[in-house]
A = this chain, B = another copy of it.
Amino acid sequence: MTIEPVDESPSTGHATRVAEATVTETVLDSLRSTPDPRLRELLSGLVRHLHAFVRESRLTQEEWERAVAFLTETGQQCTDTRQEFILLSDVLGLSSLVETLGGPGGPTATEPTVLGPFHLTESPRRELGADIDLLGSGDGEPCVVSGRVVAADGTPLPGARLDVWQADTHGYYDVQQPGVQPSGNGRGLFTADAEGRFWFRSCVPSPYPIPVDGPVGSLLAATARHPYRPAHIHFIASADGHAPVTTHLFVAGSPYLASDAVFAVKHSLVRDFTETDDPVRAREFGVPNPFRHATFDLVLAPETSA
């Protein structure tokens, strides 16, 4: 390899002393030539806060080594079907904070919440009314979810897109159980009708623990925290000219609504899955009567020119 001096004479020989008092400034100086101003701002802020954390906590060499090992294991746990770094961000409340800062776009817009680690595959396109429970809900409760996608002023958004995903009645996503669940189970990509309406069939979701067999599970155990999430269905709703929203529909009355392991619950997103005894509507939806029915309207803010 050719060694070429870059920013100093080889004969300088005047060492910069790195000391506790000055090392943070030296690192911040090294970032001053970052061409992208936003990247410079983000890295400088990260360095300031991480250095402040190390100073305040007097982090030891041994603790640093354990942190390096933990982060390495977290990265190595990731696969095409598992995202342990999102899970780590989730259990530290960072994902919830980022989503919360990002929206909603206005007082009436649907509140966002975390993406979670299971949005890894493209959901299959399905017709309105389709059943996303491909296993036929053998031991789950059939349900219908319906609603409208509208603008902040209530105007329907025809052709709005809805990406929907949920765990099965036992609390597992399809990507967690290849060979047990068919790919695309619990998932669907729907297009709202001319009046912004959507409806699909599924089984009522269950509460479930996030995966605990990796480093994030060890972290929860070490902090005496439970790994459970309240029952929910994930949604990403989008429409031309509007800001998309990543959110959940939570099942009212579910355990863990008050202690979600990933801090994602917002009261405005909780809905009753109402026991419905209505043979006519059951026939319309194609479900046995009685059935459980949740309604969830998604209100999108106008696109900002960020």
A281 close to chain B: CB less than 8 A = no
* Contact present for A35 and B224 (CB under 8 Å): yes
- Smallest distance from the beta carbon of A73 to chain B beta carbons, Å? 8
A265 close to chain B: CB less than 8 A = yes
* Contact present for A18 and B266 (CB under 8 Å): yes
* Contact present for B30 and A97 (CB under 8 Å): no
Q: Please give, as numbers and ranges, the residues of chain B lying within 8 Å of A77 by CB-CB distance.
A: 75
Instruction: Give this chain's copy count.
Output: 2
Interface residues of A, CB < 8 Å — how many? 109
A194 close to chain B: CB less than 8 A = no
Question: Known contacts A10-B255, A20-B97, A49-B52; can you find 19 more A-B pairs with CB under 8 A?
Answer: A6-B226, A8-B256, A8-B259, A12-B258, A13-B270, A15-B258, A15-B267, A17-B265, A18-B96, A23-B263, A27-B92, A39-B222, A40-B223, A42-B59, A42-B63, A61-B98, A68-B85, A71-B71, A72-B78
A positions within 8 Å CB-CB of B: 1, 3, 5-20, 23-24, 26-27, 30-31, 33-36, 39-43, 45-61, 63-64, 68, 71-78, 83, 85-86, 89, 92-102, 113, 115, 170-172, 206-209, 222-226, 228, 246, 250, 252-260, 263-268, 270
